[in-house]
């Protein structure tokens, strides 16, 4: 399974910054050991043309040339630097590449991405550009080159925070279905309307979560038939998470991932996996939860391609 990384494009942060930037490189190191069958490749930088499928020219220029205001940088949560701009493009490029690879091979992944709080002309919550939205529109554009019908894209966003930017971008676009399963009391405090929102209470455990997810997937099945699924597999619903407010165990999160991948595999929906959030006190715990996601992805990948389990 192809997987794209961009951790060597480091986004410099001031000492003590609360974003766990080291998790990206640690994840790649851990996956080399735990999942040697992954075909790891450097994420390409996405093009202006791709970004402009979603973002305004003024915003793309502001990120490129360092013209983000203090307020814009504060909302994003990262100080601007040339490296931050490059890193953001690579993060989007990895998801675009994973989406294209999934259309070819059934499944693929970006070791970064899932930046679902970004809007067309502003970033927010550690998200500069919205990789899921750019990849959805990019895949549709690629598809349109050789097909007469539009590519329907489903975004399954299981990060504990609502995918507000993504919901806003596709609010009037019937070709993209947005599902967000999130904590009702979490950031963002003003929610947008996804095509299907499932808001869970503080302290939600494995059983309640998995039932809600199963119901949500059943409802999606009634309402939409995707040609591509983009999966935002944030591990911040974990009980170990500092920001999450939900109480999923490691086994529960792994079952969550299995449910999504098996659902895609059963229906033969190509699926591209992106990282999303994860803020455990010990960064190793976040990385382990993400490795578990890859184990589940690869389990389905082998079945998809009739390889030995």
Question: Which residues make up the interface to Zn ion (CB under 5 A)?
Answer: 159, 161, 234, 236, 277
* Residue 106 Cβ vs Zn ion, minimum distance, rounded to whole Å: 27
Q: In degrees rounded to 5, what are phi and psi of residue 273?
A: -95, 135
Give the residue with the Cβ less far from Zn ion, 26 or 62.
26
Quick check: is 161 catalytic? no
How is residue 281 annotated by DSSP?
Answer: S
Give the residue with the Cβ less far from Zn ion, 161 or 245.
161
CA 155 to each of CA 23, 180, 276: distance values in angstroms, whole numbers, following the listed order: 24, 8, 13
Give the residue with the Cβ less far from Zn ion, 165 or 277.
277
Give the residue with the Cβ less far from Zn ion, 195 or 236.
236
* Residue 161 Cβ vs Zn ion, minimum distance, rounded to whole Å: 4
What is the signed CA dihedral for 247, 129, 163, 216, rounded to 10 degrees?
-100
Cα angle 169, 104, 50; round to 5: 35
Q: Read out DSSP for 44-70? A: PPPPHHHHTTTS-HHHHHHHHHT---H
Helix (H, G, I), strand (E, B) or coil at 196: strand
* Residue 52 Cβ vs Zn ion, minimum distance, rounded to whole Å: 26
**CA atoms of 36 and 189, how far apart (whole Å):** 40
Catalytic residue among 55, 116, 117, 161: 117
Residue nearest to Zn ion (CB): 277
* Residue 241 Cβ vs Zn ion, minimum distance, rounded to whole Å: 9
Contacts of 65 (CB under 8 A, 6+ apart): none
* Residue 168 Cβ vs Zn ion, minimum distance, rounded to whole Å: 16
What is the signed CA dihedral for 105, 110, 115, 119, rounded to 10 degrees?
-50
Give the residue with the Cβ less far from Zn ion, 140 or 232.
232
Supply the residues annotated as catalytic: 117
């Amino acid at each position: 399974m192809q997987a794209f990384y961009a951790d060597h494009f480091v986004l410099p942060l001031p000492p003590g910054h609360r974003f766990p930037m080291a998790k990206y490189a640690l994840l790649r190191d851990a996956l080399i050991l735990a999942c040697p069958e992954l075909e790891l490749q450097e994420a390409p930088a996405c093009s202006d043309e791709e970004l402009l499928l979603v973002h305004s020219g003024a915003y793309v220029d502001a990120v490129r040339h360092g013209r983000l205001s203090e307020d814009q940088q504060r909302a994003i949560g990262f100080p601007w630097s040339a490296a931050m701009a490059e890193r953001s493009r690579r993060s989007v490029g990895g998801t675009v590449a994973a989406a294209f690879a999934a259309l070819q091979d059934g499944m693929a992944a970006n070791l970064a991405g899932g930046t679902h709080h970004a809007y067309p002309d502003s970033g927010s919550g550690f998200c500069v550009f919205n990789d899921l939205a750019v990849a959805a529109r990019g895949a549709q554009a690629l598809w349109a080159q050789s097909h007469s019908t539009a590519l329907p894209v489903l975004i399954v966003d299981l990060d504990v925070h609502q995918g507000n930017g993504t919901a806003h971008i596709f609010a009037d676009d019937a070709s993209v279905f947005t599902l967000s399963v999130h904590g009702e009391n979490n950031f963002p405090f003003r929610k947008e309307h996804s095509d299907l929102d499932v808001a869970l209470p503080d302290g939600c455990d494995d059983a309640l979560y998995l039932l809600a997810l199963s119901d949500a997937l059943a409802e999606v099945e009634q309402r939409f038939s995707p040609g591509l699924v983009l999966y935002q597999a944030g591990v911040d619903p974990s009980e170990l998470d500092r920001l999450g407010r939900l109480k999923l165990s490691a086994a529960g999160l792994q079952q969550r991932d299995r449910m999504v991948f098996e659902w895609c595999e059963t229906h033969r929906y190509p699926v591209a996996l992106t990282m999303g959030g994860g803020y455990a006190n010990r960064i190793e715990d976040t990385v382990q939860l993400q490795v578990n996601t890859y184990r589940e992805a690869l389990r389905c990948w082998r079945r998809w391609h009739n390889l030995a389990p």
